[in-house]
């Protein structure tokens, strides 16, 4: 029902009202001007706050009139008066589902100037009470989704089940990866008390909050609900691990002992906990090799294995698996044992940046285009027990800072190989380097042999490289006789 100015005069109870014309678009505005209602916010419980543009500059105060017009009952008016341009009228226990007519009156000297009453259901501008989140569960079959359940406070929530079902709510989810600060907000469509929200990454814990507004932008957002935590399900890894190999040994008949090496998948690619890896190798003829060497039953903590490969061309495939599935395979193609190795990089240089990092740089081979480079490094030891570190780079790189496993006073062999196409790996170019040298922690063992001619021959063992702690420059020989001070040469 539209309210005519005459009715407002009646319920205005003794106010003398200067009413604006029915169509406020007239070009010549009367003087003084009436205030213009901007909008209201109905609190879900008990009050309404409206704001307006002042209109007449001479106004000293304003009265906000909010008239509740229930069906079959006489209207009831709530007011508040203020010198400002907004105020809050207390509505008691009125439900916002009813129609409310709003009028603002400016008091200026002896005159009262009122806006045209605006009548609409209070709900159009209601701030809903906060939703109550009850559970956040992984969605079966979809690692990108969470099933968010909520409920409403029945007595205060002015939108019914059937209205919710009809899509009367506008809703948003706020989500934060647990332990991180970055807060994101996404729009969601809520038509019931559980909603599938698909804005997430697999196997990730999120903190969620929900909020609604009634119908659309005219009604302000409700406060955020309580926060609940939920974790998405695992997915199959979206990529295979970085894969590399090392030819450990080539037998006379061409069989090769190969180490296969890979890197653990970062979580954003693993999409879950990797349970195992799977390696299969085959000849170029398609014959799957049955001798897996140590490359079978590869647990999640494994990052290398070795096996014997025949002399001809072959290939190996590596996959990683989580509880939800298997990654696409990473493939490694190996040339035949007798194929000639393509050239090494042109130059290689290295310099320590600090105790635990080395910058390695190289120049690309001139004769052939490369598809990438592999930098390998390991601590030089007497035995062959030290770990091979490696990094695979695309062809645009000509430098790398290495830090993995790097310590001062330890000697590193650093080598760079160029990759050609998918299969061919060039010869290495290698150098040795320390980040910082120290004095040897042990001297050589000296053996003395006497000759009857009164001369002696001295022999000594080399110092193990682990104890040298630097590049050996020279040996200094110290000797003393019973009557003479020590001398050195
Ligand atoms: C204007 O409104 C005030 C407050 O409602 C009232 O007291 C006063 O009588 C009104 N003035 C006139 C001229 O109607
Ligand atoms: C309006 O109601 C809300 C919610 O009940 C309350 O927080 C707020 O203080 C009230 N405002 C006034 C001016 O009474
Ligand atoms: C979400 O959870 C609710 C309540 O536990 C359940 O009734 C509903 O079927 C679930 N929806 C989906 C898509 O899993
Ligand atoms: C959510 O919807 C509003 C319009 O209702 C739009 O302006 C906003 O960009 C949307 N936000 C996202 C994250 O999609
Ligand atoms: C490993 O991969 C091979 C070849 O794709 C397959 O036959 C085998 O079942 C896989 N093993 C496991 C444990 O998934
Ligand atoms: C290298 O390792 C192999 C087997 O792991 C062992 O048989 C060999 O003796 C080692 N060589 C040295 C010099 O330690
Ligand atoms: C090479 O790697 C760098 C950094 O990792 C990347 O920015 C670049 O796009 C890559 N180039 C090609 C051709 O893949
Ligand atoms: C470089 O190649 C030589 C000869 O093939 C080999 O002995 C050496 O171990 C390789 N160095 C590295 C770091 O791979
Ligand atoms: C041997 O090396 C040390 C350390 O660099 C140096 O001080 C000394 O002069 C060298 N001795 C000879 C004989 O070159």
C-alpha 421 – ligand 5 centre gap (Å): 27
Q: Which atom of ligand 3 is nearest to the CA of 196?
A: 13
β 205-214/169-177 pair status: antiparallel
Which residue's CA is minimally distant from atom 3 of ligand 6? Answer: 384
CA angle 430, 433, 436 (to 5 degrees): 170
Q: Which pLDDT score is estimated for 16?
A: 45
Q: Please report the pLDDT score of residue 257 as a whole number.
A: 95
For residue range 227-248, what is the model confidence (pLDDT) as tens digits? 999 999 999 999 999 999 999 9
Q: Calculate how far, in angstroms, residue 476's C-alpha sits from the geometric centre of ligand 9.
A: 8
* 457 DSSP β-pair partners: 449
* Residue range 161-177, pLDDT digits in tens: 999 999 999 999 999 99
Ligand nearest to C-alpha 288: 5
The rounded distance, in Å, linking the Cα atoms of 444 and 463 is 5
Q: Is the CB of 473 under 6 A from ligand 9?
A: yes
> Which residues, judged by CB distance below 6 Å to any ligand atom, belong to the binding site of ligand 6?
383-384
Q: What is the pLDDT of residues 384-425, one digit of tens each?
A: 778 899 999 999 999 999 999 999 999 999 999 999 999 999
DSSP assignment string, 53-70: E--STT--EEEEEEEE--
Q: Whose CA is nearest to atom 10 of ligand 5?
A: 278
Q: Considering only CA atoms, which residue is closest to atom 14 of ligand 3?
A: 139
Ligand found nearest the CA of 257: 6
Ligand 7 centre to CA of 122 (Å) is: 58
- Highest mean pLDDT, choosing among 70-79, 155-164, 192-201, 450-459: 192-201
Asked if residue 489 has its Cβ within 6 Å of ligand 9, the reply is: no
Ligand 4 residue neighbourhood (C-beta within 6 Å): 186-187
User: Using CB atoms within 10 A of its CB, is residue 322 exposed (0-12), middle (13-18) or buried (19+)?
Assistant: buried
429 CA to middle of ligand 8, Å? 8
What digits encode the pLDDT tens for the residues 24-57?
444 454 556 789 999 999 987 789 999 999 877 7
Percent of the chain with pLDDT over 90: 71
Let me know if 405 is exposed, middle or buried by CB neighbors in 10 A (0-12, 13-18, 19+). middle
pLDDT surpassing 60 at residue 379? yes
CA 376 to ligand 2 centroid distance, Å: 68
- Tens digit of pLDDT for each residue in 196-228? 999 999 999 999 999 999 998 888 999 999 999
What number is the average pLDDT over the span 461-476? 91
Distance CA 65, CA 320 (A): 69
pLDDT of 119 higher than 60: yes
* 8 Å CB contact between 79 and 68: no
Task: Summarize the chain as % helix, strand, coil (round to 5).
Answer: 5, 45, 50
Give 32 or 321, the one with higher predicted confidence: 321
Query: pLDDT band at residue 458, thresholds of 50, 70 and 90?
Result: confident
* Residue 246 burial by Cβ neighbours in a 10 Å radius (0-12, 13-18, 19+): middle
Q: Which of 275-279, 338-342, 383-387, 442-446 has the lowest mean pLDDT?
A: 383-387
Best residue for ligand 8 mutational test, from 340, 415, 416, 426 (most atoms within 8 Å of Cβ): 415
Q: Residue 303 — pLDDT band, cuts 50, 70, 90?
A: very high
**Residue indicated by tokens 């090494």:** 344
Q: pLDDT averaged over the chain?
A: 89
Which residue puts its alpha carbon closest to atom 2 of ligand 8?
A: 428
Closest by Cα among 252, 437, 458 to 337: 252
The pLDDT score that the predictor gives to residue 485 is 67
Length of the chain: 489
Average pLDDT over residues 151-163: 91
**The pLDDT of residue 195:** 95
CB 255 within 8 A of CB 309: yes
| Beta-ladder partners of 166 | none
Dihedral (CA of 420, 422, 427, 432) sign: positive
pTM attached to this predicted model = 0.76
Domains contained in the chain, CATH given: 36-126 (2.60.40.10), 128-231 (2.60.40.10), 252-334 (2.60.40.10), 348-433 (2.60.40.10), 446-488 (no CATH)
Q: Work out the number of other CB atoms within 10 angstroms of the CB of residue 33.
A: 18
Predicted local confidence at residue 169, as pLDDT: 96
Bridge partners of residue 485, in order along the sequence: none
Average pLDDT of 249-274? Answer: 94
Helix (H, G, I), strand (E, B) or coil at 7: helix
Contact call for residues 322 and 273 (beta carbons, < 8 A): yes
Report CA(15)–ligand 1 centroid distance (Å): 5
Best CA proximity match to 242, nearest among 277, 215, 212: 277
Measured from the Cα of 47, ligand 2's closest atom is 1
d(CA 243, CA 261): 6
Q: Name the one residue in this structure whose structure tokens are 């007595």.
A: 155
Is any ligand 3 atom within 6 A of the Cβ of residue 191?
Answer: no
Look at 349 and 487; give whichever has higher pLDDT: 349
Q: What distance in Å separates the CA atoms of residue 362 and residue 430, rounded to the nearest whole number?
A: 11
Which residue from 240, 260, 274, 278 has its CB within 8 A of the most atoms of ligand 5, so it is best to mutate? 278
């Amino acid at each position: 029902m539209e309210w005519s100015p005459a009715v407002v005069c009646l319920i205005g109870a003794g106010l003398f009202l200067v009413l604006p014309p029915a169509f406020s678009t007239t070009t010549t505005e009367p003087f003084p001007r009436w205030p213009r209602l901007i909008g209201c916010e109905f609190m879900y419980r008990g009050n309404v706050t409206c704001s307006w543009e002042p209109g007449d500059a001479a106004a000293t105060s304003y009265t906000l009139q909010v008239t509740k017009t229930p069906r079959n009952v006489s209207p009831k008016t709530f007011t508040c008066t203020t010198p400002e341009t907004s105020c809050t009228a207390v509505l008691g226990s009125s439900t916002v589902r009813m129609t409310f007519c709003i009028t603002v009156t400016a008091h200026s000297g002896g005159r009262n100037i009122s806006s045209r009453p605006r009548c609409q259901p209070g709900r159009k501008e209601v701030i809903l009470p906060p939703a109550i989140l009850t559970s956040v569960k992984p969605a079966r079959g979809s690692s990108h989704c969470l099933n968010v359940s909520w409920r409403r406070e029945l007595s205060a929530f002015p939108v019914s089940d059937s209205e919710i079902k009809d899509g009367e709510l506008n809703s948003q989810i706020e989500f934060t990866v647990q332990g991180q600060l970055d807060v994101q907000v996404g729009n969601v469509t809520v038509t019931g008390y559980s909603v599938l929200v698909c804005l997430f990454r697999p196997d990730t814990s999120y903190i969620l909050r929900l909020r609604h507004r009634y119908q659309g932008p005219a009604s302000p957002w409700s406060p955020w609900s309580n926060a609940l935590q939920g974790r998405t399900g695992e997915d199959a890894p979206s990529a295979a691990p970085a894969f590399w190999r090392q030819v450990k040994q080539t037998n006379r008949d061409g069989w090769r002992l190969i180490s296969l090496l890979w890197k653990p998948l970062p979580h954003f690619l693993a999409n879950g906990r990797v349970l195992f890896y799977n390696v299969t190798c085959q000849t170029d003829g398609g014959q799957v090799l049955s001798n897996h060497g140590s490359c079978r039953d590869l647990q999640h903590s494994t990052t290398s294995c070795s096996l014997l490969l025949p002399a001809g061309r072959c290939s190996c495939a590596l996959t990683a698996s989580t509880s939800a599935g298997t990654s696409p395979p990473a493939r490694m193609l190996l040339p035949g044992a007798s194929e000639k190795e393509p050239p090494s990089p042109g130059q290689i240089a290295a310099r320590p940046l600090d105790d635990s990092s080395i910058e390695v740089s190289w120049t690309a081979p001139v004769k052939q285009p490369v598809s990438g480079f592999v930098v390998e490094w390991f601590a030089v030891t007497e035995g062959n027990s030290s770990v091979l570190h490696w990094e695979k780079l695309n062809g645009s790189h000509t430098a790398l800072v290495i830090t993995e496993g790097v310590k001062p006073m330890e000697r590193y062999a650093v080598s760079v190989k160029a990759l050609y196409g998918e299969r061919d790996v060039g010869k290495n170019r290698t150098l040795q380097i320390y980040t910082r040298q120290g004095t040897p922690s042990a001297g050589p063992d000296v053996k003395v042999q006497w000759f009857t001619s009164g001369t002696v021959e001295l022999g000594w063992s080399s110092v193990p490289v682990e104890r040298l702690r630097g590049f050996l420059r020279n040996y200094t020989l110290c000797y003393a006789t019973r009557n003479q001070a020590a001398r050195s040469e």
